[in-house]
Amino acid sequence: MSRLHVDWTRCDGHGACTELLPELLATDDWGYPLSRTGERDPEIPAELTRHAEHAVHTCPLLALRLTRHPR
């Protein structure tokens, strides 16, 4: 199972990921992605894998990664 990792040093709150993955990500007070589960790097359900990959490729600041690390 993959997880979605945000590199906060790169993220500028552009918002592409929250539009592509509304099931996983909300928007915080300032426009930055906010994990809906509260997990630091939310787990990606299998049915959202393609959307998550799309979000990773769409992020204009290359701030998203799919990872397999457990946290």
Partner 1 sequence: MTLTASTELTRRLLAPTADTPLPRWDLDTLVREATASGLSGRGGGGFPTAAKLRALAGRGGVVVGNAMEGEPLSRKDAVLLTTSPALVLDGLRLVGAAVGARRVVLALGPSLPEVTSDEVEVLRLSGGFVAGQETALVNQLDDGPAVPRDPLVRVTTRGVGGRPTLVLNAETLAHLALIARHGAAWFRSVGPPEEPGTSLFTVSGSVAHPGVVEAARGTRLSEVLATAAPRPFSAVLVGGFHGAWVPVAAAEVRLDAPSLAPYGASVGAGILHVLSSDSCPLIAAAEFTSWLAAQSAGQCGPCINGLPRLADSLTRLAQRVSDPTLPAEINRLQRLVTGRGACAHPDGTARLVGSTLRVFADHVVEHIAGRCTLGGAR
Q: Which residues bind partner 1 (CB under 8 A)?
A: 5-13, 28-32, 34-35, 38, 40, 65, 67, 69
Shortest gap between Cβ of 16 and partner 1 (angstroms)?
15
Q: Would you say 12 or 50 has its CB closer to partner 1?
A: 12
Structure tokens at 13: 């709150």
Q: Would you say 31 or 45 has its CB closer to partner 1?
A: 31
Q: Would you say 47 or 69 has its CB closer to partner 1?
A: 69
CB 4 within 8 A of CB 59: no
How many C-alpha atoms does 29 have within 13 Å on its Cβ side?
0
Name residue 5's beta-bridge partners: 65
